[in-house]
Amino acid sequence: MDGAGRSRRSRGSAEPKTDLKAAAIGAAVLLREYFGFDRKRAKARPDRETPSRAILWLERHTPRRAVLALTLVTLIGSAALGVTKGGHVDAVLAQLADGRNALANSAGFRITSVVINGRKQLSQDEVLGIGGVNGRSSLLFLDAATVRDKLKANPWIADATVQKFYPGQLQIDLVERTAFALWQQDGRLAVIADDGAVLEPYVARRFLSLPLVVGKGAETRARDFLALLARYPHVHSVTKAAILVGERRWNLRLKDGLDIRLPENDVGNALAALSRLDKEDKLFSRDIVAVDMRLPDRLTVQLSEDAARAREELFKDKKKKKAGDA
């Protein structure tokens, strides 16, 4: 072919080489800037403040991976500090736990069966709520010891056992306390167990038939005294409340309002005498408001106002009659 043709082939073969060379030079410049090799040009930039010698030394001698790791640690630490100061720790932990449980549930460890043995006063939902078990919980990440501790912290639960059966069954065995009596102090009423533990700071209707003890310290001494009182059913059946006085001795308030003031010691003999007096002399049916048995050698009764007035008038009539006879 002619020269013109050769000239076109020459230009056609030179242009790709030029383009490749320019691309290689551009890539080398970018690599030097990225890895920090072109430090002279970086120092010559007018818009960048010259770093200190310490910074330059760190840039030269610190590996880039170490710098990246330190940066990540700083960012994570700053985020953790913000979460802590902002009071969001519990919320963040709850979200992390929910995410972890969601993964476990999707893998087949969802709690599909719950068996609760020994439950009497508490419902199943109440037991699970106390133990911190909900619909998002997974059996894989459920801490049985933590659930047990939460359950035992509830006053109704004396003991608990928590077992996990994979892949999805949870079993809880409870030993519940029994509601023993009602305890009143400073105008507040509560349900107590036989050891004096407060089970509920209020009284539901189903507990209204329980015996009532009143006063400071009565909750811890109720079990022994009520057991003694039960040995005398004639007195026990008409008792409305047992009142601890000065944390030393008991009074009885009967259903008709009669007060029985028991001695500090030898309470059993006093109750036996009280039972005998009512059987033989109908003591509880008389027009009296109090029976004082605090002294061991005597029993004193206090008449009602009507009975005292009638007794006084009776004495006046007797005096008049004696004066008339004289």
Which residue stretches of 118-171 are H helix?
A: 124-131, 144-152
pTM of the predicted model as reported, rounded to 2 decimal places:
0.63
Find where tokens 């009776």 sit.
314
What CATH number does domain 107-176 carry, 1.10.230.10, 3.30.300.30, 3.90.79.10, 3.10.20.310? Answer: 3.10.20.310
Least confident of 10-19, 281-290, 293-302: 10-19
Give the helix/strand (H/E) hosting 74. Answer: helix 64-85
pLDDT for the residue 279? 94
> What would the pLDDT profile of 190-217 be if each residue is shown by its tens digit?
999 999 999 998 888 889 999 999 999 9
CA pair distance 232, 242, nearest whole angstrom:
14
> What would the pLDDT profile of 212-258 be if each residue is shown by its tens digit?
999 999 999 999 999 999 999 999 999 999 999 999 999 999 999 99
Strand ranges (DSSP E) for 265-314?
288-292, 300-303
> What would the pLDDT profile of 47-80 be if each residue is shown by its tens digit?
555 656 665 665 565 565 565 666 666 656 665 5
> What would the pLDDT profile of 14-48 be if each residue is shown by its tens digit?
444 444 455 455 545 544 554 554 444 444 444 55
Least confident of 15-29, 72-86, 154-168, 279-293: 15-29
Dihedral sign for Cα 82, 83, 86, 87, please.
Answer: negative
What CATH number does domain 181-311 carry, 3.40.50.1260, 3.40.50.11690, 3.90.1150.10, 2.60.40.10? Answer: 3.40.50.11690
pLDDT for the residue 192? 96
CA pair distance 192, 202, nearest whole angstrom:
10
237 phi, psi to nearest 5 deg: -70, -20
Give the CA distances from residue 309 to residues 299, 306, 317, in Å, rounded to whole numbers and listed in that order.
21, 5, 12
